[in-house]
Amino acid sequence: MRAFEYVVARDSAQAMALLAEHGSSVKILAGGTDLLVELKSASHGPQVIVDISRAEDMKKISLTGEGLSIGALATHSEIMDSQLIRDMFPALVDAAHTIGAVQTRNLGTLGGNLVTCVPSMDSGPTLIALEALVTIAGAEGRRQMPLTDFFVGPRKTILKPTELLVDIIIPKKNLGKPVHFLKSGLRKGQALALVNVAASLWVDKNTFLEPRIALGAVAPVVMRATQAEAYLAGRAVTPEAMMEAGRIAAGEARPITDFRASAEYRRDLIAVLTKRALENAVLLAQAKLKGVKK
């Protein structure tokens, strides 16, 4: 690795000050599972590394007035261990569980996964299906936006060099919304997704209400399958409807052929995984309805 100056930020305010001071010569170190790999192979690197991994104010997982707030520095393991998340959104636990392996999940952070912004990121689809928002801190204060707007392209987010992703918020209206995540990779461990899918929905009088489908690894960034969503909204919950939604989702994705899989294979996976994610979310929704009736 090339030499750099190393500074520690104890909280987000200190991190912001360091970013303002050093400008674009800075790289932020959170979990390091992507950054260190990049630094080892880069011919020219940043002059300063700001280590935010000990910024306690960015690690909290809590319910706030806005919804479920997950600090950007929560590690994938911490998300898997959080009782709050386990109770409310097991799909987020499932998604975290498919990332890398134990060692990398202990280091890697949710914020880091989003900021690195590879198309196959496993933490993206569930959050997008739950219409998550992100909070960004900058010199002019904080701003919030939907996670879908945060992603700009492969390895590119809307963040400016002096800005920091602070937390991820699942809005109040979606707390407890049934959601399911599925991933298909070439192996269970240490494998990038060929396709990953998350579906969230409510079931009302046996019809789909606010169905949301998010697809990963099949477009430049994690995408919503809005045509499939529109097809389902207000429609009766039937196996045929879910199968058709899978077909529509496969049609609106833009998968590529690479050494892992062909675009055609990925389209087939999207259709099947979307259908299964919907079926599982429906089961959750029906279980919830029964629970309420009791």
The residue ranges that bind another protein (CB under 8 A) are: 1-6, 29, 32-33, 36-37, 39-40, 49, 51, 53, 77, 100-104, 106-107, 188-190
CB of 190 to another protein, least distance (A): 6
**CB-wise, 190 or 226, nearer to another protein?**
190
Residues 6+ apart with CB under 8 A from 172: 65, 66, 67
**CB-wise, 2 or 142, nearer to another protein?**
2
Strand pairing partners for 69?
Answer: 62, 169
Half-sphere exposure at residue 120, Cβ-oriented, CA atoms within 13 angstroms: 18
CB of 189 to another protein, least distance (A): 3
Give the pair of three-digit tokens for residue 260. Answer: 């892992």
**CB-wise, 75 or 200, nearer to another protein?**
75
CB of 32 to another protein, least distance (A): 5
CB of 243 to another protein, least distance (A): 30
| DSSP character at residue 153 | E
CB of 251 to another protein, least distance (A): 34
What is the strand order of the sheet 207-216 is part of?
A: 179-185, 193-204, 207-216, 223-224
**CB-wise, 73 or 147, nearer to another protein?**
73
Instruction: Tell me the C-alpha distance between 13 and 29, whole Å.
Output: 15
**CB-wise, 53 or 123, nearer to another protein?**
53
**CB-wise, 98 or 135, nearer to another protein?**
98
Residue 133 Cα distances to 8, 44, 151, 155, 253, angstroms: 27, 34, 12, 19, 23
CB of 10 to another protein, least distance (A): 13
Please measure the distance between the N-terminal and C-terminal CA atoms of the chain and give it in whole angstroms.
61
| Helix (H/G/I), strand (E/B), else coil: 213 | strand
**CB-wise, 34 or 163, nearer to another protein?**
34
Residue 36 Cα distances to 30, 41, 55, 279, angstroms: 10, 9, 19, 40
Cβ 159 vs Cβ 115: under 8 Å: yes
CB of 239 to another protein, least distance (A): 30
